[in-house]
Amino acid sequence: MGKFFTLADYDEIANRIRERVNIEPHVGLILGSGLGQLADSIENAIKIPYHKIPHWPVSTVVGHQGRLVFGQLEGQNVMVMQGRAHYYEGYSMAEVGLPVRVMQRLGVETLIVTNAAGSVNPNFSPGDLMLITDHLNLIGMTGRTPLRGPNLDELGPRFPDMGRVYDRELGALARKVATENQIQLQEGVYICLAGPAFETPADLRFLRAIGADAVGMSTVPEVTVARHGGTRVLGISGISNKANLDGDTLTTHEEVLEAGQIIVPKLAALIRGVLRNF
């Protein structure tokens, strides 16, 4: 059997964090590629670099700062991941899911997860925000899931329901905040692939045919752990590039990070509005 974490492992990590942090976070926030800036406005911030936390997967990708930030945002106690680890970096799915487990052990009840994604829906443009209404777990369908291995019954059931992954109330709140702040909010289905190579035009036509609106290389594993443990989820994609359906354009990581600069202010306004109205 591969390496799976035990409840004692998660609690050891949570206790190490508690030695340095004196607040109980209720909201977890994962900031994806090029979206980390929001963490810089956390009040009373306590920052812990990932490499100082046992077992914590350290992000190796440009655009991921790699630290936890605890503090307040719009009056809520938050725990922010400024950067995340991906399966393509070489981590196991158990490692990719570990941060959300630790969040749950620390008291997080709501997870706000963000990512950079390519648009598969032709009506989306780079710079758009997309409320994730559901996901296609293509990577999980092939066996790559953080729930593989012994089930930790204390945390959640062996066969968790995935009928309502993205919380409807939180989604409604995000729509309301977007309208009030004149932020255009697209909606759709996110699909997670392993990456790190971007998709071929044929891949993208396939993804469109099976019902995806945006494609990325993260989020679904973390959200699966969140739902297994009963954590409420709000997911937002920042559309960083148009899918290259005809093969005429190229997709680069630089493009993804540049789009982040346009997305961050809108994303920050949206997340702040949601937290204020919790």
Which stretches of the chain bind ligand HPA, using CB under 6 A? 116-118, 198-199, 215-217, 240-241, 243, 251, 256
**Active-site residue (options: 10, 85, 89, 240):** 89
**Active-site residue (options: 39, 81, 86, 103):** 86
Cα separation of 78 and 30, whole Å?
Answer: 11
Shortest distance in whole angstroms from residue 189 CB to ligand HPA:
14
Quick one: 172 or 194, whose CB is closer to ligand HPA?
Answer: 194
Q: What are the angstrom distances between the C-alpha of 235 and each of 47, 54, 125, 248?
A: 24, 27, 18, 30
**Active-site residue (options: 81, 241, 255, 259):** 241
Q: DSSP character for 114?
A: E
**Active-site residue (options: 12, 14, 74, 88):** 88
Residues 6+ apart with CB under 8 A from 131: 166, 171, 174, 175, 178, 185, 186, 187, 188, 235, 236
Task: State yes or no: is 33 an active-site residue.
Answer: yes
Task: State yes or no: is 89 an active-site residue.
Answer: yes
Residues 6+ apart with CB under 8 A from 36: 63, 64, 65, 82, 83
Quick one: 93 or 217, whose CB is closer to ligand HPA?
Answer: 217
Task: State yes or no: is 88 an active-site residue.
Answer: yes
Quick one: 106 or 113, whose CB is closer to ligand HPA?
Answer: 113
Q: Do the Cβ atoms of 43 and 275 come closer than 8 Å?
A: no
Task: State yes or no: is 218 an active-site residue.
Answer: yes
Task: State yes or no: is 237 an active-site residue.
Answer: no
Residue of minimal CB distance from ligand HPA? 118
**Active-site residue (options: 39, 116, 178, 212):** 116
Task: State yes or no: is 241 an active-site residue.
Answer: yes
Shortest distance in whole angstroms from residue 31 CB to ligand HPA:
14
Closest CA to 249 of 195, 186, 201: 201
Task: State yes or no: is 51 an active-site residue.
Answer: no
Beta-bridged to residue 130, according to DSSP, are 186, 237
Shortest distance in whole angstroms from residue 95 CB to ligand HPA:
20
Quick one: 65 or 244, whose CB is closer to ligand HPA?
Answer: 244
Quick one: 147 or 256, whose CB is closer to ligand HPA?
Answer: 256
**Active-site residue (options: 218, 226, 228, 237):** 218
Shortest distance in whole angstroms from residue 223 CB to ligand HPA:
16
Task: State yes or no: is 119 an active-site residue.
Answer: no
Q: Do the Cβ atoms of 111 and 234 come closer than 8 Å?
A: yes
Residue type, 33: S
Three-class SS of residue 190? strand
Quick one: 116 or 275, whose CB is closer to ligand HPA?
Answer: 116
Task: State yes or no: is 64 an active-site residue.
Answer: yes
Shortest distance in whole angstroms from residue 241 CB to ligand HPA:
5
**CA 70: distance to chain centroid?**
17
Q: Do the Cβ atoms of 122 and 154 come closer than 8 Å?
A: no
Cα separation of 21 and 67, whole Å?
Answer: 14
Query: Which residues are the active-site residues?
Result: 33, 64, 86, 88-89, 116, 217-218, 241, 253
